[in-house]
Each structure stands twice: as C-alpha cells, then as structure tokens.
Structure 1
Amino acid sequence: MSGSDAPTPVDQPIADFSQCHAGILRKLDGLAELPALLQPAARAREVAEQSVEFFREAIFEHHLDEERELFPAVIASSEAGAERDRAQALVRRLTDEHRTLETLWKRLEGGLKKVAKGQSFELDTAGLEALVAQYRAHARFEETEFLPMAQAILSRNGDHMAALGLALHMRHTPMPVAGYV
C-alpha cells in the first residue's frame, strides 16, 4: 500500500461491482413501480378521450336542444307578465352559463386531447376544477329553478309538451338520404 493507506479504485474492484449493483438495484426499484403507474396513466387517457367525445357529442348538443327547443317553448307558453319575465331572466342566465362553460371547455380541450393520446402535457387543473364546479352549479340551478317552472308551464297545455317532444325527436332523428329508405 502507499503511504496514505487509503485504498484506490484499483485496489478494490469488487467494491466497485458492489456499488454498481446498488445503483442498478435503485433503478430497478423505480422500474418495478412502473406497472402501478401505468394503470392510472391509462385511466387518465381513457377519461380524457371519453370526456372529449362526450362534451362535443352530448353537452354541446344538450345546450343546443335547450336553446333551440326548450327555452323558446317555455317562453312562448308562459303567461305574459311576471311569469314570462322570470322565464326570460332564467333563460338569459342559463344561456350565459352555457357560453361560459363552453369557453372553459375550449380552453381545456386541446390539453385533454393530448392526454387522451398519451402525450406529455401540463393540464390546466385549476381550469378543469372550475369547469366541473361551474357545471355542477349550473345543472343544480337548472334542476331546482328552471325545469320545475318549465314543467309547470308546458304541462298546462298537453299540445305544448307534445310539440316540444316532437321537436326534440326530429332534431335527433337522422333524415333519410334521397333514394334510400
């Protein structure tokens, strides 16, 4: 040995192998976590993909159904005066909320599409939480305030309820292509 009595790497090749194994084992411990991490990642992709499809196909269509069919039917069937004023005020509020929710969605949609494809992306979690909270509040308000009023107004005349049902049915029934029945 030299004068310092400290072993040099040349003197301890077995210790080097041991240290190398320690590093390899730490990396393998991380690799062993991968299956547990893949399941939530796969679920995140699935939820993002389903949400993108659902928002475009169901929620936007739902808003259109309300704005083109339900809201006008309720206003037209309401009694002039306080009832119609209230109906119009609620319709304005709900329509404004639709636009706000759709704007929030449009800000999130691109990021959700990336998540759905498994691409790395920093999702706007605050925006996502705001969308969910605001939509829950919107639905709760509509369920407790507007829909009971709509039911009462449209139920006064069976023809009005039937007309709404028919209009909604027609909006969602594919039209046959000429020459094909």
Structure 2
Amino acid sequence: MAQALTPELQRQLQARLAPFEALDACHARVIEHLQVLNRLIDHLERHSVDAPAREMAAAVMRFFETEAHDHHRDEERTVFPPLLAGQDLELVRHVQRLQLDHGWLEEDWRELALQLSAVADGYSWYDLDALRAGVEVFTALYHDHIALEESLIYPQARRALSDEVDGLGRRLAEQRRAYAG
C-alpha cells in the first residue's frame, strides 16, 4: 500500500476487504456441505431413508437454499461488477463464466432439491442413481467454480479495492502537500 494511507484509510480498506473473508468462509461451508451430500449418498445406499439421512438431507437443503444462494447473489452484486467493468478481457471472460456457473448451479440444485426433499421428509420415492449422478455433477461444478474464484477472481477484486484506496490515499496526500505549500 502507498505510505500516504492514514490509519483511517487503512481501516476503511480493511472494512472493504472484510466481505472477502466472509465469502472465503462460505466457500469452506460449501465444501463441507458437499461432503455431507456425498456421505448422504453412501448412507442411502446402506440404510435407505432413516433419521440420520433425513437430518443430512434437511441440513444440506437449508444451506444451499439460503446461505449458498445468498453467497452467489452477493458475488453478482459486489464482486463481479467492478471486474466486468475493467479492461482485462480475459478476466471479464472468467467472470462471465462464473455468472453462467451460478445459473447452472441453481438449475442443478433445483433438480437435486426435489430428490433431497423426499429424503428429508422421509419418503422413499427418490431415485438413488439420479441423485448420485446429480451430486457428482453438482460437486464437480462447485469445486471448479470455487477454485477459479479463489485463485483468480477474489485476488483480482481485492487488488482492485486496494488500488482504489491507494489512489485515494495518494490524492489526499497530494492535497495535503498543496495546502501546506
């Protein structure tokens, strides 16, 4: 960071970067719930629908229908727009791909949710083979999606915010020098 940053500007930068910590933490919870989803498939193969299966299905549904959904909305509103407005066409292409991923993940989720809802409610009309195949696709897409966000998109978005605050710090330092001179 530029040395011109005051403690107040440093606090502002940290406040603006804090949402990325929440986004990263949500990714960790996504991975945890994907693991539960895969354990659920194994559990259903051995035990069919029982209380633990119902609990796992309900927990996975709650997470993906609320927190994971909100996570994508937050990225669409706050992380992606500045990157899409930039001049780096390759980065723009990656962000556009992530936006498409969000649509595919939502569609994949709707299909899984029908099956999981049956399990959560204790019904046995779910199709284990369809559920297994859907979970494999959903899990693979999510892992690929998260890897791209964490390796490229989030660092670029953090850098853009940091550069914005650095520029503000330089402008303020120049103003102070102009007033002092």
The corresponding residue for 1:116 is 120
Deviation at 1:159, TM superposition (A): 8.7
SS in 1 for 2:66: helix
The corresponding residue for 2:141 is 134
1:151 aligns with 2:158: yes
The corresponding residue for 2:111 is 107
SS in 2 for 1:115: helix
Work out whether residues 79 and 154 of structure 2, in 8 Å CA contact, stay in contact via their aligned partners in 1. Answer: no
Q: Which amino acid aligns with 1:110?
A: L
Q: Which amino acid aligns with 1:61?
A: D
The corresponding residue for 1:90 is 94
Deviation at 1:74, TM superposition (A): 3.2
Deviation at 1:67, TM superposition (A): 0.7
Alpha-carbon separation, structure 2, partners of 1:63 and 1:70: 10
Work out whether residues 83 and 95 of structure 2, in 8 Å CA contact, stay in contact via their aligned partners in 1. Answer: no
The corresponding residue for 1:72 is 81
User: Which runs of 5 or more structure 1 residues have no equivalent in the other structure?
Assistant: 1-35, 161-181
Q: Which amino acid aligns with 1:52?
A: M
Work out whether residues 74 and 154 of structure 1, in 8 Å CA contact, stay in contact via their aligned partners in 2. Answer: no
Number of equivalences: 119
Deviation at 1:70, TM superposition (A): 1.4
Deviation at 1:37, TM superposition (A): 4.7
User: Which runs of 5 or more structure 2 residues have no equivalent in the other structure?
Assistant: 1-45, 168-181
SS in 1 for 2:122: coil
* Identical pairs, percent: 36
The corresponding residue for 1:11 is none
Work out whether residues 52 and 109 of structure 1, in 8 Å CA contact, stay in contact via their aligned partners in 2. Answer: yes
- Larger RCO: 1 or 2 (CA < 8 Å, sep 6+): 2
TM-score (norm 1): 0.59
Q: Which moved more, 1:120-129 or 1:54-63?
A: 120-129
Q: Which of the pair is proportionally richer in helix?
A: 2
Of the three residues 42, 51, 66, the one matched with 1:42 is 51
The corresponding residue for 2:38 is none
Which of the two has higher C-alpha Rg?
Answer: 1
Please tell me the root mean square deviation across aligned C-alpha atoms, in Å: 2.3
